[in-house]
């Protein structure tokens, strides 16, 4: 049972977590802090948070669980504002998509990494944002990756694990560097490609016809280009090196595909398509 949860960033992920915790009777009180008073007021009206804090320091005071669910670019100042206001028992975790960046920011802010800090990343979400888009079942049968540090208190790791398991998630642990490499390829690169394709097509003279007559495949692929641009700007900058490697690798594959089409090599194209279909079907039956 979480007695007082401080939610810094009351949007889709944080709001969905609290909704799910409330359904499981796993939290007593939730205090929220964020940049938009309108969004925070809506969170109160929806029953997601109980009270609005005037500052990060206010929010974390007396909290036994602190969840940071903001864009990566705001992590360091948020950590800095916590210094001197956390109770000794407080567990700190986050939902950021780039763990190396979050850990660096925490170390800069605190001087040394807090023992009860457990970096985390739920592999869940939608293209929508804001507390009004949150829903209690978002994390059911989804994975949450924790990247505990050498300094991490085992009890704090167990607390964060239990929190995510209580809302239906499967919790796994991973090294920080490996997490950032995997996510660069499986999440960050696809978002970059979706944004780039939609932007490219929108600048063509025939863009109205392109979007008007686009079939379901284009809508499915381009859906993630409706995601929060600020969040994805921060992710691209924070995970720069692994993302650049993923882009370079994909560029090489795309050049090979281009050469197959140019050479009218139908056999090679079919072989590639078949491999991709099998890989996709094997993993997502």
Domains, in order of start, for the chain = 2-174 (3.40.50.720), 178-283 (1.10.3660.10)
Note the pLDDT of residue 222.
Answer: 87
Contacts of 165 (CB under 8 A, 6+ apart): 171
Ranges of residues in the chain with a pLDDT under 50 are: none
pLDDT at 209: 81
Q: What is the tens place of the pLDDT at every residue in 148-190?
A: 999 999 999 999 999 999 999 999 999 999 999 999 999 999 9
């Amino acid at each position: 049972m979480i007695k007082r949860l401080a939610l810094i960033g009351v949007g889709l992920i944080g709001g969905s977590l609290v909704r799910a915790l409330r359904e499981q009777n796993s939290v007593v009180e939730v205090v929220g802090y964020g940049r938009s008073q309108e969004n925070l007021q809506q969170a109160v009206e929806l029953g997601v948070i109980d009270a609005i804090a005037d500052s990060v320091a206010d929010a974390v005071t007396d909290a036994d669980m602190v969840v940071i669910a903001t864009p990566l670019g705001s992590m360091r100042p948020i950590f800095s504002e916590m210094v001197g206001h956390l109770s000794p028992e407080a567990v700190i975790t986050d939902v950021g998509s780039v763990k190396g960046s979050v850990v660096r920011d925490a170390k800069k802010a605190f001087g040394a990494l807090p023992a009860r800090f457990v970096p985390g990343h739920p592999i869940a979400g939608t293209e929508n944002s804001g507390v009004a888009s949150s829903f209690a079942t978002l994390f059911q049968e989804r994975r949450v990756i924790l990247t505990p540090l050498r300094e991490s208190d085992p009890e704090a790791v167990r607390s964060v694990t239990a929190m995510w398991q209580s809302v239906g998630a499967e919790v796994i642990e991973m090294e920080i560097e490996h997490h950032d490499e995997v996510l660069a390829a499986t999440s960050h690169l696809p978002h970059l490609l979706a944004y780039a394709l939609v932007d490219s097509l929108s600048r063509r003279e025939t863009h109205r016809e392109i979007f008007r007559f686009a079939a379901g495949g284009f809508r499915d692929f381009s859906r993630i280009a409706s995601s929060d641009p600020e969040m994805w700007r921060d992710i691209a900058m924070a995970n720069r090196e692994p993302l650049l490697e993923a882009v370079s690798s994909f560029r090489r594959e795309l050049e090979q595909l281009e050469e197959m089409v140019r050479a009218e090599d139908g056999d090679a194209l079919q072989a590639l398509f078949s491999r991709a279909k099998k890989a996709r079907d094997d993993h997502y039956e």
